[in-house]
Amino acid sequence: MIAEHHRKIFVLDTNVLIHDPNALSRFDEHDVVLPIVVVEEMDKVKRGVDELARNVRDVSRYLDELSEQTEDLSKGCLLPGGGRLFFEMTHHITDVLPESLSRSSNDNRIIAVTMMLKKENTNKEVVLVSKDINLRIKARALGLATEDYRSDKVVEDLDILTSGQLTLDDKTWETMSENLEVTPTEHGNNYQVTWPEAMTLPHLSSFVLLPGEHEMALRCFTANEKTRRVDLRDIYSYRSDRHAVWGVQARNLEQNMAMNLLMDADLDLVSLLGLAGSGKTLLALACGLHQTLDMGLYDRILVTRATVPMGQDIGYLPGTEKEKLGPWMGAITDNLSFLLGEEASDISSVLGQNRIEIVALSFARGRTFSRTWLIVDEAQNLTPHQMKTIVTRMGEGSKIIILGNNAQIDTPYLTAHTNGLSMVTQRFSDWEWAGHIVLKASERSRLAAHATQVL
């Protein structure tokens, strides 16, 4: 229990509750104030069928439970962390605003509540919490303390996200090789080495790049924390025409590592992050077609993605589910046309013939995808809740391929720290049945590669 004078008062903007329906339970022993205008704004959003409306309904039900359990709302509703929730309904509260700010703006009314609370609680810190950058700027200009809502961050430091590869220098590899044990495997050799105490053990299914000019990569299969003994194995080479998968061969070492993960039927989840044009979608489709049509490991290929526009929305689209998704799946159909040798105009019939389905995220809830190769494209635009919904749909004998680029986030209020792509990359980095790799080179064309670097 913290001292009374150390308790803070947090004033919440509407977008905080819409973004995270559990936000009210994340302020520990501090008090939370909801301006009544926040409840009014939530009431306008609750009738939709999307995730935002669902979040609002969850918050509304929680507020209803809290208020029902509290006899005197003026004394606040007890929150799980020990703080209290207050509803601010003061009349003429906008009188504290400077004349330059509109009295009819809901954002300004929230600012007015914060100003009044600061004036009345000189012994406590009053903080306005909002994901609206402009609201925070206006509040700071009026001398108020503001914060972005940070409890939704699934990753505090993006540098800790595994890249799926580690490059060793000559000295480190020489030290490891002192107790080297080499045994033959089906595809090359297994190298058991002693990992240095000063270095963190590699993640399973990550890659260790050896020093030298030959770009040699080994894949980590086991890592013993007690003995520090690590098993590294040669990887399969997909960099020649003879070993191409559906006509696709790896153009660089990173793509070759990615194909090793995609072609490993023992892995249930593979995430590929990379620049535009790095080959994520093409590799995922080629490996999926080979293992579905040629090897029979899976019964079908499902492809889905977040339907978030990059620029101005073109409005509602006519037709069936597949017809509505057509414009969003251009990257998929372009790559399928390349792989299958069909014209884009014939792609609809080609999909059925090759057991490929395009599905909407909206209809994933309640389904079970068994013996399915599922590709989730543009995963950087998914919220953690959406990502959890998709991953938990996977049944026996299935594999999910998650593709994305954290530099191309189009969903409002989502960042590389808070989206589902970063969450799944971090949470599955130590799981033995998952693999992850970052593709850093653009292979689409020399123009695209140069544009990625300079624009």
Q: How far apart are CA 33 and CA 76, in angstroms?
A: 9
8 A C-beta contact, residue 307 and residue 361: yes
Q: What is the pLDDT of residues 19-65, one digit of tens each?
A: 888 888 888 889 999 999 999 999 888 877 677 888 889 999 999 99
115: CB partners within 8 A, 6+ apart = 96, 97, 142, 144
8 A C-beta contact, residue 108 and residue 142: no
Q: In degrees, to the nearest 5, what angle opens at C-alpha 287 toward C-alphas 267 and 211?
A: 70
CA-to-CA separations, 221 to 147, 230, 385, in angstroms, rounded: 43, 8, 31
Q: How far apart are CA 39 and CA 81, in angstroms?
A: 22
Please give the pLDDT value at position 212.
81
Largest CA distance in the chain: 80
Alpha helix (H) ranges present in 233-372? 253-262, 280-289, 321-325, 330-340, 347-353
Give the alpha-carbon dihedral of 323, 329, 334, 340, to 10 degrees: -70
Q: How far apart are CA 29 and CA 33, in angstroms?
A: 13
Please give the pLDDT value at position 53.
84
Pairing of strands 188-194, 269-274: unpaired
Give buried/exposed letters for 39-71 (b at 16+ CB in 10 A, else e): bebbeebbeeeebbeebbbebbebbeebeeeee
Please give the pLDDT value at position 416.
87
Closest CA to 219 of 249, 196, 253, 245: 253
Please give the pLDDT value at position 362.
65
94: CB partners within 8 A, 6+ apart = 103, 108, 109, 112
Query: What is the residue-wise DSSP string for 385-441?
Result: HHHHHHHTTB-TT-EEEEEE-TT---STT--TTTSHHHHHHHHTTT-TTEEEEEE--
DSSP state of 248: B
CA-to-CA separations, 27 to 5, 22, 23, 144, 209, in angstroms, rounded: 16, 10, 8, 19, 44
Low-confidence ranges of the chain (pLDDT < 70): 1-5, 49, 91, 152-160, 307-331, 342-354, 362-364
Query: What is the residue-wise DSSP string for 69-127?
Result: T-S-GGG-EEPTTS-EEEEE--TTGGGGS-TTS-TT-HHHHHHHHHHHHHHH-TTS-EE
Break the chain down into helix, strand, coil percent, rounded to 5: 40, 20, 40
